Amino acid sequence: MKGTYSGVLARPLVLLVAIGLTGCASAAIEGARVGVDAVSQKRNQEDAEAGDPEAQFALGDSLCCSGDAPKRGVYSTEESIKWLCAAAEQGNADAMVKLGKIFSGDQTDGLRLIRRAVNAVTGAPSNLGAASYWFDQAQKAGSEDGAEGGQELQEDMAPADETLAAQYMSGALPKPCDWAALTHTG
């Protein structure tokens, strides 16, 4: 009887410990990722400023994203968009896809549980018309991810988003390359 009782208590205890360790692991992973992103920013800044589209993409990617604020810690969505747009202007399809994700409100890549939770609570700004524009540009540049992102986005777009996308694509609105475009509500 004693063994059964301790076994019954052990299972919930193990589950609670596992959940607690997952939280600790998430914090450790996030902390390590912040460090990696800060190093990437330092490593790519000079080449990005010199016009290297790969460095511009890497810098923009490492700066992404601060969710509902233009800047938070080592992350700056505002700066990220600037560098990704510079890379996109030079034909970097990965930058175009990343811009599509940012403008669609999907600003978290990989296993970033803490950042995903913060974005879920605070929300991330989006501009689906701009996201559609960037996914379209990526698809035109030959990116399968751009085509896939554009298809998935179509399900969420309202007529106003489609009108906004058409305005970006026709040139009636300037390319969405700044924080103001991200927070534009149409």
Span 50-66, pLDDT tens digits: 999 999 999 999 988 87
Stated pTM of the model: 0.74
Structural domains of the chain, with CATH? 2-182 (1.25.40)
Q: What is the pLDDT of residues 121-148, one digit of tens each?
A: 556 778 999 999 999 999 999 999 999 9
- Give residue 30's pLDDT: 53
Q: Tell me, what amino acid is at 73?
A: G
On the question of pLDDT at 85 being above 80, the answer is yes
- Give residue 14's pLDDT: 40
List CB contacts of 56: < 8 A, sequence separation 6 or more.
44, 48, 83, 84, 86, 87, 90, 92, 95
